[in-house]
Chain A
Amino acid sequence: MKILLASALLLFSAWAWAQDDLGPQGPVVKMASAPVVTAVQGKPATVPLSFRVSSGYHINSNHPKSEFLIPTVLKIEATTDIVIGKTTYPEGQDLSFAFAPDEKLNVYTGDFNVDVLVRPLLSVQPGKYVVRGTLKYQACDNSACYPPKQLPVSFDVKIAKAPPAPRKNPAQSPHAH
C-alpha cells in the first residue's frame, strides 16, 4: 500500500512540476470565475465579468486610438432563452510605452471588468443557464506584439420565476359584505 501511495505521489509531483514549468509563456488574459447572476424572467440583469492581463503586457482597449489596432471585443453567442443586451467595456488607460514614448495608446492592463446585460425571455423555464462567448484581444509588451487571441468565456445565469402580477381587485358587488 505504501509503495502504491509513493508511486502516486511521484507521478503527481512530476505532473505538477511539469505544469508549473511549462506554464503559460507570453501574454495571457484570464477570466475570473463569474458570479452566478440571478435574473427574473423578462427582467434585465447585469453580469460582471472580470479579466486579468498578465503582468508586463497590455491589450488594446475596446476603443484603441488607431484604426489599425485590434480592439478588445467580447462576443457572446446568441441563445434561444436569454436576450444578450449591451456589453459595457471599461475606459482604457492612456499609456506610453518604451517603443513609442511620445505616443499614448488606450489599453487595458492588470484587472479589468466587462459588464454584459442579459434579459431572460418571459417564457423561459426557471433554472440555471450557461452563456458562452469569446473575448478577442491582441497583446503587446514593451518591445513586441503577439497575434490576436480568443479567450473562451462562459458564465451562468440563474433564471428565477417572475412574481405573479398583482391582482386587480374585482369590482365590489353591491351585494358583497
Chain B
Amino acid sequence: MKRNPLILFFIAAIVAAMLFAGVRMARKNRANGPTNGQLMGNLAPDFELQGLDGKSMKLSDFRGKAVLLNFWATYCEPCKIEIPWFVELQKEYGPQGFQIVGVAMDDASTEDIAKFAKEMGVNYPILLGKESVGQSYGGVSVLPISFFLDRDGKLIAREFGLQSRSVFVDHIKKALSQGQAVQAQK
C-alpha cells in the first residue's frame, strides 16, 4: 500500500504538537510545586503513623490545634537547623493550641532516629514516615518540607527547604488564628 507523504507529515506534526503540549504541561506542574491548587485550602490528608514509642498516631488527633507538619530526615543538615527553632516554638506557642508533628522520612533505624531526636532535645512527636504519606502530600522529593494546618485541619501554607525562623512564626500565628479551637483528643 502506498502511503501519502503528506499524511505522514501531518501525523508527524500532530505527534510533535502533542509532545510540545505534554512537556509544557509537565513544566507548568513542576513549576507550581506538587501541591499547589490541589491541597492548599483543603483538609490535610489524614494518616496514621507509628511514633518512636511504638504507638500509632493520627494527624486528625490534633484537630482543634494549629499544626506544623514537618517532613525531615536524620541525614538532612538544613533540618538540623530548623529543629531547635521548632523546640522553642513548641514551647512558646504550645499553650495557645499549637502542635508540631515531625515525620521522619529516612531509612535510618528507629533507634537512630530516636537517638537523633534525643540529641536535638525534640519536645514534639516524631512519627516514622512512609512513602505513601509523602505521596499524599505531593511527594517528598526534597527535605525539609513543612505544612501548616489551621485548627480545622485545613492546609494554609507550605515551605520547601530551610526558611528563616520568622517565616515559621508568621505561618504559626496565621494557623492559630484560623479555624475553630476545640479540645484536642490528644
Residues of B within 8 A of A21 (CB): 23, 27
B12 within 8 A of A: yes
B20 at the interface (CB under 8 A from A): yes
Q: Quick one: which of B33-71 are within 8 Å of A by CB?
A: none
- Name the residue among B74, B112, B142, B160 with the largest chain A CB count within 10 angstroms: B142
Q: Which residues of A contact B169 (CB under 8 A)?
A: none
What's the least CB distance linking B90 to chain A, in Å? 21
Give chain B's interface residues, CB within 8 Å of chain A.
5-6, 8-9, 11-13, 15-16, 19-20, 22-23, 26-27, 30, 73-81, 105, 107-108, 112, 116, 140-144, 160-162
The reply to whether B142 and A144 contact each other, CB–CB distance below 8 Å, is yes
Q: Is the CB of B81 within 8 A of A100?
A: yes
- Check B73 against A145 for contact (C-beta < 8 Å): yes
Given contacts A14-B15, A146-B141, is CB(A25)–CB(B23) below 8 Å?
Answer: no
B12–A7 CB distance below 8 A: yes
The answer to whether A15 touches B9 (Cβ under 8 A) is no
**Residues of chain A within 8 A of B112, CB atoms compared:** 68
The answer to whether B107 touches A146, judged by C-beta atoms less than 8 angstroms apart, is: no
Judge whether A99 and B78 touch: CB under 8 Å. Answer: yes
Which chain A residues lie closer than 8 Å to B143 at the CB level?
A: 144-147
Cα of A5 to Cα of B69 in the assembled complex, Å: 55
Contact among B16, B108, B116, B142 for A145, CB-based, below 8 A? B142
Please state if A99 and B77 are interface contacts (CB–CB under 8 Å).
yes
In the assembled complex, the Cα of A36 lies from the Cα of B77 at a distance in Å of 38
